[in-house]
Every structure is written in structure tokens, then in C-alpha cells.
């Protein structure tokens, strides 16, 4: 299924029959991606006295409660409401769902942090060297670990790779609207609550930017090549600062 699209005066073709799913399944139990020390996702049937709403227990339907945290359980998209006093719902944010994206792969650099730890960081210089001269609407950032190791990883306490705040500020300055990363956060796991990269990308508190999103804990298949894609950013209509999401790439042909 080949679609011909005109966007900002440019024409291109995409293959809609071969979606590249960047999301991690939201599933109950151990062995699934999580972060921030949250317990595993739980999914259990509703109980009313002795009645259990599961077909295997004699109910007419399966009727389950689900407990999860959008930031801690797999792929999610967040709005500036993640760092503002008032919740700015990500579910109300997008006016369209398709964007021109560039997939880039960067090997993080090692840097000594003030607390003595050796961090791995994505730098401004690395991004400048990877982004096309004509900036995309969305940047999909893949670090060099394989997809298989990330899809089941518990990121808690790992001091994961993060982005320099100057790097996210630069992405904002060139017009990038949507940043997607295969990391638990664009910021350092323990940073004293500064969240410098989040603040820089949204330019908060100078403004309440309701046009940009950050998606974290994506997984990019190893076979996906760097380059330009059409991104479809799917997320439910949650009235919350973050929601589980399913970003999908379509190759340009």
C-alpha cells in the first residue's frame, strides 16, 4: 500500500503496508520494561463478593482492572504538563498525528558527573552531526544497545544515558516538535529534580509549550535504517501529563 503525500510543498511516497512499531507492549507481570522503581503492571478480574469476572471462573465476560504508571511502564508520550504545576493533558495536545521524522543512531559519550559517577550522555555536538540540514518535525533517537535487550529491561537504578540540556534546547531552536528516545528519560535518573533537558526542550518556565511532546522508552527494531520516515504518533485521549503511546514509522520509498 503506497501513499503519495504532499507536505510543505514536497512530495514523497510511503509504504503503509510495512509499519515499524516503536512501542513496547504493556503487559502484566515480571519481565517487561519498566523504570522509576514501579512495581510490575497488574491486570486482574473485577471481584464482587464471591463473583470473579473472568470467563474461566464462570463469568459471561472477561472484565479486568488494570494498574499501571504511564511514565514507568513502557512506551509513553508526555506533554509539558510533566513539569508544570497544572496538568496540561497530552491527550488534548495533538492536532494531527503524522509527522516527518528522522531516525538517528548515536553512541553515547562517557562524561564524569559532579557526583563522581561516569555517565553516558548524548551531546549537542553529536546531534548537530546527525540531524539533516533541513530539520525534521520529529527526531527518533536510537542508542546503540540492541532492541532485544531493551524491550524487557528494568531501568531502575541503572543511571541510564540521558541528553544534555543544550542538546534539547538546540532541537527546539531548529523547530523539532516531537522527540522520541529509547531511554527511560531525556534527563539523568538522579539529577536533584532539575530535569534540565525537559525544561530546555519545552522552554519552561518561560512558556507553556503545548505544541511539543517527548516520547520515552521506545524500542527501535535493529533492522530499521537511519533516515527519513513518516511518523504516526498514536496515543489515547488521556487527561494526564503522559499516556501510553504507540509511535509507528513508515519508510519513504
Query: Quick one: pLDDT at residue 251?
Result: 96
Q: Where are the alpha helices (DSSP H) in 55-164?
A: 124-130, 147-150
Q: State the chain's maximal CA–CA distance in angstroms.
A: 64
Three cell numbers written together for 30: 515480571
Give pLDDT, residue 114.
85
User: How confident is the model at residue 246, as a pLDDT?
Assistant: 98
Strand partners, 251: 229
Q: Please give the model's pTM, rounded to 2 decimal places.
A: 0.96
Exposed e or buried b per residue across 131-148, where buried means at least 16 C-beta atoms within 10 angstroms of its C-beta: beeebbbbbbbbbebebe
The per-residue pLDDT string of the chain (253 residues; one tens digit each, 9 = 90 and over) reads 899 999 888 898 999 999 999 999 999 999 999 999 999 999 999 999 999 999 999 999 999 999 999 999 999 999 999 999 999 999 999 999 999 999 999 999 999 988 888 999 999 999 999 999 999 999 999 998 777 788 899 999 999 999 999 999 999 999 999 999 999 999 999 999 999 999 999 999 999 999 999 999 999 999 999 999 999 999 999 999 999 999 999 999 8
Read off the DSSP letter of residue 156.
Answer: T
User: What angle is formed at CA 160 by the lines to CA 155 and CA 166, rounded to 5 degrees?
Assistant: 140
Query: In this structure, what C-alpha cell is assigned to residue 50?
Result: 464471591
3-state secondary structure of 132: coil
Candidates 137, 135, 105; CA nearest to 230 is: 137
Nearest to 80, CA basis, from 246, 245, 240, 247: 240
Residue 178 has a pLDDT of: 98
DSSP-assigned beta bridge partners for residue 162: 121
Q: Is 20 exposed, middle or buried (0-12, 13-18, 19+ CB in 10 A)?
A: middle
Q: Which residue has the cell 525544561?
A: 199
- pLDDT for residue 1: 86
For position 146, what pLDDT does the model report? 79
pLDDT of residue 150: 82
Using alpha carbons only, how large is the chain's radius of gyration in Å? 19
pLDDT given at position 252: 93
For 7, phi then psi, to 5°, come to: -145, 125
DSSP for 39-59? PPPEEEE-EETTEE--GGGT-
Question: What pLDDT was estimated at residue 148?
Answer: 76
CB 227 within 8 A of CB 102: yes
Complete domains list, the chain, with CATH:
2-27+70-251 (3.50.30.50)
Amino acid at each position: 500500500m503506497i501513499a503519495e503525500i504532499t507536505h510543505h510543498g514536497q512530495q514523497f511516497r510511503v509504504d503503509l503496508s510495512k509499519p515499524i512499531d516503536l512501542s513496547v507492549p504493556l503487559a502484566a507481570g515480571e519481565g517487561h520494561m519498566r523504570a522509576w522503581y514501579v512495581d510490575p503492571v497488574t491486570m486482574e478480574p473485577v471481584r464482587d463478593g464471591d463473583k470473579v469476572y473472568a470467563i474461566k471462573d464462570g463469568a459471561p465476560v472477561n472484565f479486568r482492572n488494570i494498574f499501571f504508571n504511564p511514565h514507568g511502564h513502557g512506551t509513553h508520550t508526555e506533554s509539558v504538563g510533566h513539569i508544570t504545576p497544572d496538568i496540561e493533558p497530552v491527550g488534548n495536545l495533538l492536532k494531527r498525528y503524522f509527522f516527518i521524522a528522522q531516525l538517528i543512531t548515536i553512541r553515547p559519550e562517557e562524561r564524569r558527573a559532579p557526583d563522581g559517577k561516569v555517565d553516558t550522555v548524548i551531546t549537542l555536538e553529536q546531534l548537530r552531526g546527525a540531524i539533516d540540514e533541513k530539520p525534521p518535525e520529529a527526531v527518533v533517537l536510537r542508542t546503540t544497545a540492541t532492541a532485544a535487550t531493551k524491550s524487557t529491561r528494568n531501568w531502575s537504578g541503572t543511571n541510564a544515558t540521558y541528553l544534555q540540556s543544550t542538546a534539547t534546547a538546540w532541537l527546539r531552536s531548529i523547530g523539532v516538535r516531537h522527540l522520541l528516545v529509547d531511554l527511560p528519560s531525556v534527563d539523568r535518573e538522579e539529577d536533584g529534580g532539575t530535569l534540565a533537558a525537559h525544561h530546555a526542550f519545552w522552554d519552561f518556565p518561560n512558556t507553556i509549550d503545548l505544541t511539543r511532546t517527548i516520547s520515552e522508552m521506545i524500542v527501535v527494531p535493529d533492522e530499521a535504517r537511519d533516515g527519513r520516515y513518516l511518523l504516526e504518533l498514536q496515543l489515547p485521549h488521556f487527561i494526564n501529563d503522559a499516556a501510553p503511546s504507540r509511535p509507528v514509522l513508515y519508510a519513504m520509498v
